[in-house]
Amino acid sequence: MNILVTLDKGYINPLCVMLSSLADSHPDTFFDIYVMNKSFKCADYEYIKHRLNSEKIRFHDIKVDDSMLAGAPVTDRYPHEMYYRIFAAKFLPVNIDKILYLDPDLVVIKNLDELYCLDLGDNYFAAASHVGKPLQKLNEIRLQMCSKGPYINSGVMLMNLDALRREQNYGVVFDYIEKNKNILFLPDQDIISAVYSDKIVTIDPYIYNMTERMLASHKSVKMDIDYQWVQKNSAIIHYCGRNKPWKENYMGTLDIFYKKYSAVIDC
């Protein structure tokens, strides 16, 4: 299974936890992990390998030159690395036809074969949306989305590299960034949702991009989704936003999954 990650060194420890959970959830699967970055060194990969102690994971270092993103807006929370996934097809080996992008701030608690084998047809991405109809409409207006396609969370994305190589126009992306950089709140997923909304297949967020906020919203209206439901049904727990399970002030119950895999690699 081909896996893509894009990150800076500040997320190395969460990456170790994510990869530990991925390997544990796929006992018979080997993984090629493509790390798009600008600063990783051999010592960083040795550190990760030592913590994981797994023969099922092979790393590929993919260096990216940030000069192509000189005009893109960045913050402490959203560095240049977040844009790399948009241009993955440009940098990844041409013999890879698809890849599953995973944020480092998530854990995998069930097998992802069904997601990985999803037929994308001529679409570029498969991803989940976290927004309801009112916010979807606001995003359509704010971002001048090219169609009424979904506003996605970019933390989990199956990517059709063949189609992207054939059809992706980088100039369109750079033009969009330049014209709209002052209104980009979550820049990478704003761009993907706006420019490629008609090329996205939606997947179930409760299965493949479950969050603490989604769980809390169901508790507030006394619906059937609770921790036990998540444990039984969800495949990916995503700790998006500022509420991170490795911080002392974490709020919620889903951090138990992160702590489980963190404890494994810390033994």
State the chain's mean pLDDT as an integer.
Answer: 90
The pTM of the full predicted model, rounded to 2 decimals, is 0.93
| pLDDT number for residue 146 | 63
Q: How far is CA 18 from CA 15, 65, 155, 238, in A?
A: 5, 26, 12, 10
Instruction: Check if the beta carbon of residue 261 is closer than 8 Å to that of residue 107.
Output: yes
- Closest among 56, 82, 58, 100 to 208, alpha carbons compared: 100
**Residue 157, pLDDT score:** 98
Over residues 13-45, the pLDDT tens digits come to: 999 999 999 999 999 999 999 999 999 999 999
For the chain, give the percent of residues with pLDDT over 90: 67
Q: pLDDT (tens digit, 9 = 90+) per residue, 62-111?
A: 999 877 776 676 666 667 787 899 999 999 999 999 999 999 999 999 99
